[in-house]
Amino acid sequence: MNLILIGAPGSGKGTQSRLLIDKYNFVQLSTGDVLRAAISAKSDVGMTAKCYMDQGKLVPDDVMIALVEDYMSKQSGKSVIFDGFPRTVAQAESLDSMLKKNAARIDHIVYFKINPQILVKRLTGRRTCSQCGEIYHVETKPSSKGHLCEKCGGSLTQRADDKEEVIGERLAQFEKNTGPTIEFYRGQKRLVEVDSMQEPEVVFKQIEKVLDLAN
Ligand code: AP5
């Protein structure tokens, strides 16, 4: 089963991906995580991506599509969670044709519906483990170990693009590019909405229901 999690920055896609992986047999393709790893490795893709990400802009479609094509060519047939891809209609169309070539398909497209006003608080308070990627929030989900990760002891860091001045542009990009992508899927009657303003466990239950995994 392959699924797309689509929603605004901070709507909870990463949090729910981790819950799904912990309980079920999924692998996650977070294009944001892949790009951040490429930046750390100072690869060509990373250096290109950094210029866009630091400003809160989208990385060009050709770079993103090549990156996902490469990932899919190495896939072992496991169920994939697409987290952060596609974000434009061009990316959505490319993903459909990529999967078609491999006789695969997207089974569920889950849209994380949220009031934009709460996103800034979620994003500015987010902290992420530099080792295992566990996601925290200084107010709503603090680590019991202070600046260290509860799971692996890694140090918690703030993402470079989680600063208020960059967040505004990320939200604008979401409206401009991902809004039409959501409408593209809605028009094909492939989109299912969840209320991502609920507690993470409640959002998770909604997703399990959509995926028909609830007991
Ligand atoms: P990316 O890393 O994908 O970031 P994003 O889409 O902006 O999403 P986030 O990771 O910020 O948020 P999330 O929805 O995962 O929320 P989370 O669960 O962490 O992309 C970064 C950049 O890379 C882009 O700006 C772009 O430049 C580039 N890029 C990536 N993919 C691209 C593509 N396809 N095309 C072009 N460019 C691309 O939660 C956030 C916080 O809220 C946490 O603190 C969490 O604890 C808290 N929280 C989560 N759920 C809840 C809840 N239910 N209730 C209360 N708090 C909650």
Residue 56, phi-psi category: left (phi > 0), alpha (psi -120 to 50), beta (remainder): left
Say whether pLDDT at 215 is over 70: no
Percentage of the chain beyond pLDDT 90 is 92
**What are the domain boundaries of the chain?**
3-114+168-210
Read off the pTM. Answer: 0.96
Ligand 1-lining residues (CB < 6 angstroms)? 7, 9-15, 31-32, 35, 52-53, 56-59, 64, 84-85, 87, 91, 122, 125-126, 135-137, 140-141, 161, 170, 196, 199-200, 203
pLDDT digit string, tens, across residues 115-138: 999 999 999 999 999 999 999 999
User: CA-based angle 209:212:214, to the nearest 5?
Assistant: 60
Q: In what order do the strands lie in the sheet with 3-7?
A: 26-30, 79-83, 3-7, 108-113, 191-195
Distance, in Å, from the CA atom of 32 to the CA atom of 85, rounded to the nearest integer, reads: 9
Pick the CATH number of 3-114+168-210 from 3.20.20.70, 3.30.360.10, 3.40.50.300, 3.10.50.40: 3.40.50.300
Q: What angle do CA 86, 122, 168 make, to 5 degrees?
A: 65
Q: Which of 123, 135, 157 to mutate to test the pocket of ligand 1 (most atoms within 8 A of CB)?
A: 135
The pLDDT of residue 154: 98
In this model, does residue 76 exceed pLDDT 80?
A: no
Residue entry with tokens 């260290």: 148
**E strand intervals along 119-202:** 126-129, 135-137, 156-157, 191-195
3-state class (DSSP) for residue 167 = helix
